[in-house]
Structure 1
Amino acid sequence: MNKIEKWILISLLISLVSGLIVVAFTFDSNTLSALMQIKPVYILAAACVHALSYVVWGMRTRSLCKALGFDVGYTKACEIVTSGTLAASITPSSLGGEPLRIHLLHEEKIPLGRATAVVLGERILDGILILALAPVSIYVIRGVLNDSVFDAMFIFAELGLTFILFLTLYAIWKPDPTKNVVYFVVKRMAPFLGRKTDAALEKIIKRVDSELEHFHDSISILLTDGRRGLSFGVLYTIVFWFVDFSMLYVILLGLNQHPDPLIVFASQIIVMVLLVIPATPGASGVAEFAGTTAFSLFIPSSLLGIAVIAWRAFTFYMNICVGGFVSFKILKDTDFIKNFLK
């Protein structure tokens, strides 16, 4: 069993066990009758909605690349973002998707620094939007839930997300301290990577310095000449999350449920903040239990486990399948992913 298969297996096992626990605690006599009344067309529609989110994500990546002067095709952009979903699904906090997308953008002749600016720019846009919507979501959720434990978990996760976002923004606006930290890390790691000579180390540092300059220049371009592309990036970010959050509502329609869409969206924002906690690969387990807690506000107990399983089937299992297919069959990035997971 290679490294990729091992991480996928671990992620799947954690998710499956967590899902079975949720189903076991929510299964009752009404669950079977509800399953018999499922509307398959809505479940298929939910899969299509999630697939549409890949397209919107690809359009966002393309718009940010174009803002920096690089023309990446729609198909290639979609391949890049879907490929990243595999690595994201088997790494804590879904952080593995970023290095892979940077690598794939670099293969499209985009300098590493600028590719990093595109990918981190997407992460920053996501973080800003989720953080901005989090207080509104708390207000909506507290109208139907008063749980001090849940509040504490949410506050902890939001502080973590805010801290990560602050560090990223600080690295953008204060490049010199960022360079010093990167140089320190490179010097410490170089001997372990076989780069013990001064000449080799100097070459690495020059490369790092060059890419950091590309990164900061790219951010400057996005905020000045590339503002139009950045504006489209913001728009696509809003559309992306609207589309992805709509998927759960479509699933519930397939289960003959008609909850308040506002609560459905607010609960998913809360869950997204909680998933920042780097506990397990792809947030397996954390997502199932966080989703069960948040979704219990508007889903009957007898359907809660089924709804969570269906939700994870698209946000996790579908990502692994689609991401794996694109990575290994189309882009053939098996070696990069293996090296990344070492």
Structure 2
Amino acid sequence: MSKFKKWMKASLLISGISILLLLIVTVNSETIETVLKIKYEYIVLAVIMHIVAYFMWALRTKSMCQGIDYKIKFLSCVKIVTAGKFAASITPSSIGGEPLRIELLHQNELPIGRASAIVLGERFMDAFLILFSAPVALYILRDGFSDSSLDIVFIMGEFILMSVLLIMLYGLLRPENLKRIIRFIAIKLTKLLGKKREDQIYHVLKKIDSEFYNFHASLRMLLREGRTSLACGMLFTVFYWLFLFSILPVILMGLNLNPPVIITFAAQILLLIITAVPITPGASGVAELGATTLFSVFVVPSLIGITVITWRVLTYYMNLLVGGFVSIKIAKDTELINRLFG
């Protein structure tokens, strides 16, 4: 729990300092004049679009669960998604979201192995879409910035996403090798934690074998019998990102700007590549700095600060607010967070 609190504090502190610096550097009389003329109906629309994005992800989860013959309520999926977004928002490279979603799916009667297959499948879809959209985004923004240091960040982000895809593919093509690796890691961790008795190690390995079977059986079922659910899952993935990416141009419309929608999408795709580099909890600081650099291609300097701050509030702080509220409502949430982050 102490680690959870540290991540939370660090995330909010870094993000808060970044926002304060943005305000100091960018706010002027033109900024104030624009804020006074803001069209709040567009901000409300942006909030609604983020909520719809939650629903798209929840529908994806529900669809993929149906693909492995597990029925789960839509409302339960919404809770799982929003709680997962909360955990992802306070951990480096969003790594906290997956374990929490797996555990919450398990609480909804999915075996750990099958829940892992669902979450891994969702991660694969996201990574696949972003990875193959990135070259197009780079092409669109090729003349927008000239900072060579950004190339290094993009390469690192692409490498991380590509590694995720390759690990997933390796698990599909060579399941036995992956199981041996997991068993090896489990044995080392068990001994490291002081659990040296043979019966304890045997229990851990038996559990791994059982859950790995569930995991791979679920993937096979999705790829063979659940292809319709898988296709629906990919469709909901596209809709999820479309709604999420549309928040920025809607914000710009609220600031009385005429945003180039395709370019705003391209900038956000590249920003996802940057924030994939696990530097700070919830990509705090990194997201603000990256957004300031990328959004400056289509936003004037006097409005870049207020644009980034509004976008960050609606896409990051909203995850903390909604996800935190939902997490509190989830049964045994404190115990769950203790297990995952303590």
| Distance (whole Å) between structure 1 residues aligned to residue 179 and residue 172 of structure 2 | 11
Mapping of 1:304-323 within 5 angstroms?
304-323=304-323
Mapping of 1:226-241 within 5 angstroms?
226-241=226-241
Give the 3 Å change call, closer, same or farther, for CA 251–115 of structure 1 in structure 2. same
Mapping of 1:110-259 within 5 angstroms?
110-259=110-259
Q: Cα offset for 1:194?
A: 4.9
Q: Which moved more, 1:318-327 or 1:149-158?
A: 149-158
| Distance (whole Å) between structure 1 residues aligned to residue 215 and residue 209 of structure 2 | 10
| Distance (whole Å) between structure 2 residues aligned to residue 190 and residue 173 of structure 1 | 27
Q: Counterpart of 1:294 in structure 2: which amino acid?
A: L
Q: Cα offset for 1:192?
A: 4.1
Overall identity of the aligned pairs, in %: 45
Residues 134 and 269, structure 2, Cα contact 8 Å, conserved in 1? yes
| Distance (whole Å) between structure 2 residues aligned to residue 2 and residue 124 of structure 1 | 31
Query: 1:295 is matched with which residue?
Result: 295
Q: Cα offset for 1:146?
A: 3.1
Q: Counterpart of 2:294 in structure 1: which amino acid?
A: A
Deviations 1:245-286 (A, max 9, x none): 001111111111111100000000000111110001011111
Q: Cα offset for 1:287?
A: 0.5
Give the 3 Å change call, closer, same or farther, for CA 225–211 of structure 1 in structure 2. same
Deviations 1:127-169 (A, max 9, x none): 0000111111001001433332222321221122112221222
Residues 186 and 205, structure 1, Cα contact 8 Å, conserved in 2? yes
Residues 125 and 234, structure 1, Cα contact 8 Å, conserved in 2? yes
Q: Counterpart of 2:281 in structure 1: which amino acid?
A: P
Residues 124 and 164, structure 2, Cα contact 8 Å, conserved in 1? no
Q: Counterpart of 2:35 in structure 1: which amino acid?
A: L
| Distance (whole Å) between structure 2 residues aligned to residue 39 and residue 334 of structure 1 | 40
| Distance (whole Å) between structure 1 residues aligned to residue 302 and residue 67 of structure 2 | 49
Q: Counterpart of 1:118 in structure 2: which amino acid?
A: I
Residues 251 and 311, structure 2, Cα contact 8 Å, conserved in 1? yes
RMSD: 1.4
Q: Counterpart of 1:191 in structure 2: which amino acid?
A: K
TM-score when scaled to structure 1?
A: 0.97
Q: Cα offset for 1:316?
A: 1.2
Structure 1: stretches of 5+ with no match in the other structure: none
| Distance (whole Å) between structure 2 residues aligned to residue 162 and residue 6 of structure 1 | 30
Q: Cα offset for 1:180?
A: 1.4
Q: Which moved more, 1:328-337 or 1:206-215?
A: 328-337
Give the secondary-structure state (helix, strand or coil) at the position aligned to 1:195.
coil
Q: Which moved more, 1:157-166 or 1:144-153?
A: 144-153
Q: Counterpart of 1:106 in structure 2: which amino acid?
A: H
Query: 1:88 is matched with which residue?
Result: 88
Give the 3 Å change call, closer, same or farther, for CA 294–331 of structure 1 in structure 2. farther
Q: Cα offset for 1:203?
A: 1.0
Residues 127 and 164, structure 2, Cα contact 8 Å, conserved in 1? no
Residues 3 and 338, structure 1, Cα contact 8 Å, conserved in 2? no
| Distance (whole Å) between structure 1 residues aligned to residue 209 and residue 230 of structure 2 | 25
What is the aligned length? 342
Deviations 1:227-248 (A, max 9, x none): 0000000100000000000011
Give the secondary-structure state (helix, strand or coil) at the position aligned to 1:60.
helix
